[in-house]
Structure 1
Amino acid sequence: MAILNKSQTEKQNKDYWRTSELLINDALKLLNIKSFGIDVCCHFEPAINDINIIKHAETYIDEEENSLDSYSWFHGSNPTAFCNPPFSRKWEFFQKAVEQVNKWSQQVLMVLPYTPATKAWSDNIHGQNCIIYVPDGRYQYLLPNGKKSASSCNFETCLVLIVPFKCGNVIVNYKRGLKCID
């Protein structure tokens, strides 16, 4: 289905939306982990940086370091990398994630638009070993300055866990705002 709502985001700002804490918390709960080993696309600005913004990962790669050129996306003993890629380069990052998973037998959780009927989705996701987590609605992303936007994105988002074992494409539906199960 075609997206009929045209984006109101200026072209130069499309790659700088920040990941909401709700999405990150849901991702951690879905995987039953306390943090990611690394955030490979950290939108990091000292002006809004504090320990709470990057606490979801042990370390990060920011735009200046260019994670597409990094040898390894994995850090220490934590086997899961997190990637909310720049929107304009999402499939380049997906291919790099697949390469990293195959090379290191670790896993990468990516935030991607949920567009299973598109050719790009078919060309990239189909044939890979991915667990696709589909939320019950849209997440609100944060503006580049870290503040909440007045509007939400005009497409559905999913979390794609690229895994180092054979499973094909597995779809898991979930409710946003997951609660911990003790």
Structure 2
Amino acid sequence: MKTDVGEYYGASAKLIVYGFPNVKLDQITISQIWVIGGADGPEDKINTVQAGWYIPADGYKTGCFNFNCPGFVALSPDFGPGSEITELSVYGGIQKSIEISIFKDQKTGNWWLTYERSYVGYWPKELFNNLEKAAEVDYGGAVYSPFNEPSPPMGSGHLAIPTEGPNKTCY
């Protein structure tokens, strides 16, 4: 889901998470929140900070995720990018969620990440050339699969509420 374009200095999302679906090589399923700077300009001026639940079948080799990206300063000894989420939703059962926030420190200009209201770390302002503020905040899920393969499931893999009823889909 996309927000209206404006001025944003932070956002939070509560994301329902399900267990590992059958994700094949070169496929991805993701649920995330991201803040975007420069979205209305040229592509090389777009800056994003993203966080969420990401499942690639290739061991996180499809992009710059977790600690594969230079620059993120991790502070939490207990949880950080790439950590396993162990409490997962069960179809028709209890819904489990994660709460993620991304916000700009007005004093330092760094962009902070919190998980379940605990500070995880930050992206230094020097990593960005167009993220003084976010012009857009987005959240939601996505899947990717090569053109000739069926997509992996998103979330539980079932249709949105109210089609299947409560405790059976992500939101």
Name the TM tier (shorter chain): under 0.3
Bigger relative contact order, structure 1 or 2, given CA contacts below 8 A and separation 6+? 2
TM-score by length of 2: 0.27
TM-score by length of 1: 0.26
Answer 1 or 2: which has greater helix percent. 1
Which is higher, the Rg of structure 1 or of structure 2?
2
Answer 1 or 2: which has greater strand percent. 2
